[in-house]
Amino acid sequence: MYTHLNLLIFSLSLLLSLVPFSICTNKPPPLPVLPIPTASQLQWQLSSMAFFLHFGTNTFNDSEWGSGHADPSVFNPIQLNATQWVQVAKDSGFDRIILTAKHHDGFCLWPTEYTDYSVKSSSWRNGSGDVVKEVALAAKEGGVNLGLYLSPWDRHEVCYGETLEYNEFYMGQMTELLTWYGSIKEMWLDGAKGEGEKNMEYFFDRWFSLIRQLQPEAVIFSDAGPDTRWIGDERGIAGSTCWSLFNRSAAKIGGTDPQYSQGGDPFGHDWVPAECDVSIRPGWFWHASEVPKSAKQLLDIYYKSVGRNCLLLLNVPPNSSGLISAEDIQVLQEFSELRRSIFSYNLASTAIVNASSTRGSTGGHSFDPYNIFSEGIFTYWAPEENESTWVLHLTLQKSVSFNVLKVQEPIHMGQRIIEFHLEILSKVGDWWKMINGTTVGYQRLLQFPTVESRHLKFVIEKSRGEPLVSYLGIYMDNFSSVSSVFDKGFQIFQAHSNSSHVLQQSVYNHSQTAAT
Ligand SMILES: *[C@@H]1O[C@H](CO)[C@@H](O)[C@H](O)[C@H]1NC(C)=O
Ligand SMILES: *[C@@H]1O[C@H](CO)[C@@H](O)[C@H](O)[C@H]1NC(C)=O
Ligand SMILES: *[C@@H]1O[C@H](CO)[C@@H](O)[C@H](O)[C@H]1NC(C)=O
Ligand SMILES: *[C@@H]1O[C@H](CO)[C@@H](O)[C@H](O)[C@H]1NC(C)=O
Ligand SMILES: *[C@@H]1O[C@H](CO)[C@@H](O)[C@H](O)[C@H]1NC(C)=O
Ligand SMILES: *[C@@H]1O[C@H](CO)[C@@H](O)[C@H](O)[C@H]1NC(C)=O
Ligand SMILES: *[C@@H]1O[C@H](CO)[C@@H](O)[C@H](O)[C@H]1NC(C)=O
Ligand SMILES: *[C@@H]1O[C@H](CO)[C@@H](O)[C@H](O)[C@H]1NC(C)=O
Ligand SMILES: *[C@@H]1O[C@H](CO)[C@@H](O)[C@H](O)[C@H]1NC(C)=O
Ligand SMILES: *[C@@H]1O[C@H](CO)[C@@H](O)[C@H](O)[C@H]1NC(C)=O
Ligand SMILES: *[C@@H]1O[C@H](CO)[C@@H](O)[C@H](O)[C@H]1NC(C)=O
């Protein structure tokens, strides 16, 4: 009897102790905050950096905007090796390349059936070569995504200016490019049209529909999207506030408002992240007399493009031999080495993290604050619902010096964070607000003067819905010159007084956010 009762009590208590586990299943993720990226947009953004390859008759005539009348026989890149182009891209950390299949001069790098103004009429391989094909093969072999630029403006084609005829011609060319060369991951279009050029209409809706039909996985780039937008300058620099949110209807292809493009739209209902194009050299095409930018200049551009939620599209023009020049390769190697030495080790990665709250903290560990130290965006810290403060408190193993902050959001759940700042505990025991920022998105990098501390507080002040953080890192950049850091986008408030520990109370107010 006694033993039976004992057993019963034991069994009951075992059962009871099991109950919380059996009913406490994992908390699901919060709802996404719209708009969110499509699968192709997400894949595009994970690339971070792409190579632009400007190549054509201009390469052989020392020109940037060919007149459209260059003799096609000048095109003769005797040593052309697309495998080298792809290899250089990969070795420098770029996994997407975009080739100018046709630039404004109208010369086609593939043997199109709609004009003779192409590789067919060049002396290269007696007119039997196809640059697009070689690049497509090399990209496929190298596991690099391929994009193509087909210039709408065409200074050679006689039917340019006749709206119907030219749109038919252009769509015929586009069909060749989208059906002859396997998978195309990006179509890059602009609204360029020279001053005083014959007036005609580009049928963008039809072009975009054709791209969707033939290459549904391709993202379409233009001033106004639909999938990715031009940042609005050719210096590769995004706004220090940069939303992937945007209204396509508020932008016009060929009539960009640079401010709208650079900052995006906190209230935008479309997901249209930005692409920052810039050339490694002064010109877009190769010129014997030009030299590449320095690795430090590229690093600065990286902070202001990739570090501001954009994709960096860096133009690296092949030379007239058909190869990427040795001096460009040298600079790209140095650029990779700089990024490796700065970003390969997160100085906070072994810190103890304490979050203001954690979603479903009694259940599993899906939204654990330690997720902020695992690479990638798909695991993240999520706070409990309806909290009034969102803080990640980091205690490092020892005091470290650093001058760069990296933050990432799980953008597949929407771009949420509006305002944030970083505080450090100073030697005298006060919390100092080191740097503030607006927008995070896929990746945010902020530079500030070197500080030393063991205790950090990452505070999110404003967000569209509950903020989610997938990565947080601190780094020491010994290479950037400090003067380049302080443009108007980077507001530093190195506390002058010790009163800065009086923190702004951040209050979560649903009606102040743009949450849909
Ligand atoms: C070749 O370039 C020169 C200037 O560098 C320019 O004047 C000339 O028009 C170009 N030729 C063609 C055919 O584009
Ligand atoms: C082309 O470039 C690749 C990569 O740099 C190299 O391995 C290969 O030997 C080159 N091919 C030729 C024909 O030079
Ligand atoms: C081009 O054609 C000429 C004459 O027919 C021939 O001698 C030469 O080998 C060919 N070159 C190539 C690259 O095919
Ligand atoms: C974008 O659309 C939203 C409504 O969806 C609107 O609130 C916002 O003002 C629009 N932005 C512009 C620049 O028109
Ligand atoms: C093009 O670059 C290669 C190095 O990749 C170099 O050997 C060749 O001389 C260059 N051609 C010209 C015309 O500068
Ligand atoms: C987080 O850190 C703060 C400051 O050290 C401390 O007051 C608080 O109790 C900690 N919270 C948890 C859950 O450890
Ligand atoms: C958050 O607030 C909403 C609306 O007031 C409520 O329905 C929900 O239960 C709250 N969630 C938590 C975890 O308190
Ligand atoms: C960042 O700090 C500067 C300087 O105190 C201030 O002017 C600016 O409004 C702050 N921005 C945000 C988003 O808090
Ligand atoms: C940066 O420079 C400091 C001082 O010269 C050195 O101690 C530190 O190891 C360097 N950090 C990196 C990441 O190179
Ligand atoms: C810190 O603040 C107190 C009171 O505001 C002031 O008396 C003291 O001088 C300050 N100390 C420093 C180091 O600024
Ligand atoms: C939230 O923001 C709205 C709009 O700015 C304001 O009218 C309201 O009073 C705020 N609510 C709280 C609780 O602060």
Residue 320 CA, ligand 5 centroid: distance in Å: 8
Indicate if ligand 1 lies below 6 Å from the C-beta of 73: no
Say what the pLDDT of residue 505 is: 24
Task: Pick the atom of ligand 8 nearest to 421's CA.
Answer: 14
How many Å apart are CA 505 and CA 495, to the nearest integer? 17
Q: What string of DSSP letters covers 283-296?
A: SSS--TT--PPPHH
> Exposed, middle or buried: residue 137 (CB in 10 Å: 0-12, 13-18, 19+)?
middle
Indicate if ligand 1 lies below 6 Å from the C-beta of 67: yes
Residue 463 CA, ligand 11 centroid: distance in Å: 14
Residue 497 CA, ligand 10 centroid: distance in Å: 7
What does the CA dihedral 250, 255, 261, 264 come to, rounded to 10 degrees?
0
Backbone phi, then psi, for 422, in 5-degree steps? Answer: -120, 135
Residue 84 CA, ligand 2 centroid: distance in Å: 6
Say what the pLDDT of residue 7 is: 52
Say what the pLDDT of residue 209 is: 98
Put residue 93 in one of left, alpha, beta given phi > 0 → left and psi -120 to 50 → alpha: left
How many Å apart are CA 116 and CA 490, to the nearest integer? 52
How many Å apart are CA 206 and CA 190, to the nearest integer? 15
Indicate if ligand 3 lies below 6 Å from the C-beta of 125: yes
Cite the DSSP H helix spans in 92-203: 131-142, 163-180
Indicate if ligand 6 lies below 6 Å from the C-beta of 354: yes
Q: Number of C-alpha atoms within 13 angstroms, CB side, residue 315?
A: 19
The 3-state DSSP composition of the chain as helix, strand, coil percent (nearest 5) reads 30, 20, 50
Residue 278 CA, ligand 6 centroid: distance in Å: 46
Mutate to test the pocket of ligand 5, among 92, 325, 330 (most ligand atoms within 8 A of CB): 325
Per-residue pLDDT tens listing for the chain (516 residues): 455 555 555 554 544 454 444 455 788 999 999 999 999 999 999 999 999 999 999 999 999 988 999 999 999 999 999 999 999 999 999 999 999 999 999 999 999 999 999 999 999 999 999 999 999 999 999 999 999 999 999 999 999 999 999 999 999 999 999 999 999 999 999 888 877 888 899 999 999 999 999 999 999 999 999 999 999 999 999 999 999 999 999 999 888 899 999 999 999 999 999 999 999 999 999 999 999 999 999 999 999 999 999 999 999 999 999 999 999 999 999 999 999 999 999 999 999 999 999 998 766 669 999 999 999 999 999 999 999 999 999 999 999 999 999 999 999 999 999 999 999 998 888 999 999 999 999 999 999 999 999 999 999 999 999 999 999 999 999 999 754 444 333 333 333 333 332 222 222 223 333 322
Indicate if ligand 4 lies below 6 Å from the C-beta of 352: no
Say what the pLDDT of residue 484 is: 40
Say what the pLDDT of residue 24 is: 56
Q: Name every protein residue with a CB atom under 6 angstroms from any ligand 5 atom.
A: 319-321, 323-326
Say what the pLDDT of residue 34 is: 98
Mutate to test the pocket of ligand 11, among 387, 418, 508, 512 (most ligand atoms within 8 A of CB): 512
How many Å apart are CA 146 and CA 51, to the nearest integer? 10
Say what the pLDDT of residue 504 is: 26
Residue 400 CA, ligand 6 centroid: distance in Å: 21
Say what the pLDDT of residue 80 is: 98
Q: Which of 22, 26, 46, 21 is nearest to 368 (CA)?
A: 26
Q: Is 112 helix (H, G, I), strand (E, B) or coil?
A: coil
Q: Compute how many other C-beta atoms are within 10 angstroms of the C-beta atom of residue 334.
A: 17
Indicate if ligand 1 lies below 6 Å from the C-beta of 66: yes
User: Nearest bound ligand to CA 455?
Assistant: 6
Say what the pLDDT of residue 289 is: 97
Residue 63 CA, ligand 1 centroid: distance in Å: 6
Indicate if ligand 6 lies below 6 Å from the C-beta of 393: yes
